[in-house]
């Protein structure tokens, strides 16, 4: 049987080769005018004032936290069910990630749990739009205001460029939103990301923190008639995206809703052919228009790894998105985390499998995935019955 890939990018090779060729004809292949045009395109897409491209979600988040002057002793609230980068960026700037459990149905951060974990040290909350489904950021903002909590909201929108909640796009109600353009994301340039905000002061600071804290970019330093000295005013990192990669983004952004429609159709087709299997999928709330980034299921934790191996043995490529951070050695040891405090994240993390999923996946491939998944579940049920 042929291999069914976990993911296939949708980059138009011919178009991208032409764009890269144009960049290579310029004297600047690092961050320049092309990147600035893409930033304007993204800002217009989200109807926000400012956008900055970054070389990854991770470095964009670090640049953001540095700009916010997050430091040792500060606390940032994040969900336990997320990719480890959400926690790592907090650690890397010396602050403390405070983990909260997720809703058992949506797998999105539990608002009630957030309120329980807020202290005087809480500086920010990072809700994660897991698998492409958006959190209700407007409601979270209103809840914080009602409880007189002045806390920064940073949307982790790595999975959710094109999603909406009650018609509102990412960035509508938060202070900052951060995207990923990693190789497997809905929009990709292999490695990259973006930050959007309506806060001018924060925008100006992140412009510096994404390039070592330097107050003048490459073009201003080298391509003006008179040399302009630069200074380092605040501590920064290296997070800028080169034009050589930025040029891959415009056509994908332009066609993002066409791609989303295909993803939705593939998602719904999986739902229809898997509905009778003993699995669970996350609930997408009625007000949410998902980006449909991943198709993740949950099986009984005791059979998950065996089922994953069975699928792989049949040339079905799968992934795990994700284990609960409370189970990862570094965080478990450092913060003495107990899995029972994050029972929903723990349960999902122990039983989840992400199936092959992308806009142009063929229905016959989805049917083959469903057939082998069904066979695996039956075999493992019989095996467990006989043990």
CATH code, 279: 3.90.1150.10
Whether 157 and 209 map to the same domain: the answer is: yes
Q: What's the pLDDT at 12?
A: 82
Q: Which residue has the higher pLDDT, 217 or 208?
A: 208
Asked if residue 183 is part of any domain, the answer here is yes
Asked if residue 4 is part of any domain, the answer here is no
Query: CB of 50 within 8 A of CB of 77?
Result: no
What is the average pLDDT value for the chain, to the nearest integer?
94
Burial label for 87, CB within 10 Å (0-12, 13-18, 19+), is: buried
Whether 206 and 231 map to the same domain: the answer is: yes
Q: What's the pLDDT at 10?
A: 83
Q: Does pLDDT of 224 surpass 90?
A: no
Q: What is the pLDDT averaged over residues 11-23? A: 83
Q: What's the pLDDT at 1?
A: 73
Q: Does pLDDT of 383 surpass 70?
A: no
Q: What are phi and psi of 291, to 5 degrees?
A: -85, -10
Whether 88 and 210 map to the same domain: the answer is: yes
Whether 149 and 40 map to the same domain: the answer is: yes
Q: Cβ of 249: how many Cβ atoms within 10 Å?
A: 27
Whether 197 and 295 map to the same domain: the answer is: no
Asked if residue 2 is part of any domain, the answer here is no
Whether 349 and 242 map to the same domain: the answer is: no
Whether 180 and 290 map to the same domain: the answer is: no
Last residue of a domain, one of 229, 254, 279: 254
CATH code of 66's domain: 3.40.640.10
Whether 240 and 366 map to the same domain: the answer is: no
Percent of the chain predicted with pLDDT > 90: 86
Last residue of a domain, one of 254, 274, 292: 254
Q: What's the pLDDT at 382?
A: 72
- Pick from 309, 295, 118: nearest CA to 109: 118
Whether 318 and 216 map to the same domain: the answer is: no
Q: What is the pLDDT averaged over residues 299-313? A: 97
Asked if residue 7 is part of any domain, the answer here is no
Whether 216 and 166 map to the same domain: the answer is: yes
Residues 73-102 have pLDDT tens digits of 999 999 999 999 999 999 999 999 999 999
Q: What is the pLDDT averaged over residues 343-369? A: 98
Q: Does pLDDT of 387 surpass 50?
A: no
Residues 242-257 have pLDDT tens digits of 999 999 999 999 999 9
| Count of domains for the chain | 2
Query: Which domain, by its residues, includes 363?
Result: 256-386
Q: What is the pLDDT averaged over residues 163-177? A: 98
Last residue of a domain, one of 254, 288, 306: 254
Q: What is the pLDDT averaged over residues 95-124? A: 97
Question: What residue has token string 């066979």?
Answer: 375
């Amino acid at each position: 049987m042929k291999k069914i890939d976990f993911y296939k990018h949708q980059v138009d090779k011919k178009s991208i080769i032409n764009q890269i060729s144009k960049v290579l004809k310029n004297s600047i292949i690092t961050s320049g005018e092309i990147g600035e045009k893409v930033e304007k395109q993204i800002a217009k897409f989200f109807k926000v004032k400012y956008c900055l491209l970054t070389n990854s979600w991770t470095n964009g988040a670090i640049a953001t936290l540095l700009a916010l002057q997050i430091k040792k002793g500060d606390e940032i609230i994040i969900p336990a069910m997320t990719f480890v980068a959400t926690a790592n960026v907090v650690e890397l700037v010396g602050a403390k990630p405070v983990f909260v459990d997720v809703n058992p149905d949506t797998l999105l951060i539990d608002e009630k749990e957030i309120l329980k974990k807020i202290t005087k040290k809480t500086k920010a909350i990072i809700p994660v739009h897991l698998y492409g489904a958006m959190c209700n950021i407007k409601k979270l903002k209103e809840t914080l205001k009602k409880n007189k909590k002045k806390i920064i909201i940073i949307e982790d929108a790595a999975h959710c460029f094109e999603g909406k909640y009650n018609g509102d796009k990412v960035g509508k109600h938060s202070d900052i939103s951060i995207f990923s353009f990693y190789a497997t994301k809905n929009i990709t340039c292999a490695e990259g990301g973006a930050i959007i905000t309506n806060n001018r002061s924060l925008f100006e600071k992140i412009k510096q923190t994404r390039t070592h804290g330097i107050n003048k970019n490459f073009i201003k330093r080298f391509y003006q008639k008179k040399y302009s000295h630069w200074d380092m005013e605040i501590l920064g990192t290296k997070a800028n995206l080169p034009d050589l990669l930025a040029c891959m983004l415009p056509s994908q952004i332009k066609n993002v809703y066409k791609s989303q429609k295909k993803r939705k159709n593939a998602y719904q087709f999986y739902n229809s052919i898997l509905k009778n299997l003993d699995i669970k999928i996350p609930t997408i709330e009625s007000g949410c228009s998902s980006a449909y980034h991943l198709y993740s299921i949950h099986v009984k934790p005791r059979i998950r790894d065996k089922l994953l191996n069975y699928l792989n043995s049949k040339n079905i490529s799968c992934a795990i998105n994700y284990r609960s951070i409370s189970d990862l050695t570094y965080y478990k040891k450092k913060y003495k985390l107990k899995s029972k405090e994050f029972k929903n994240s723990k349960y999902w993390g122990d039983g989840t499998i992400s199936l092959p999923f992308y806009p142009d996946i063929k229905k016959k491939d989805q049917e083959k995935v469903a057939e082998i998944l069904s066979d695996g579940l039956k075999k493992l049920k019989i095996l467990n019955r006989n043990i």
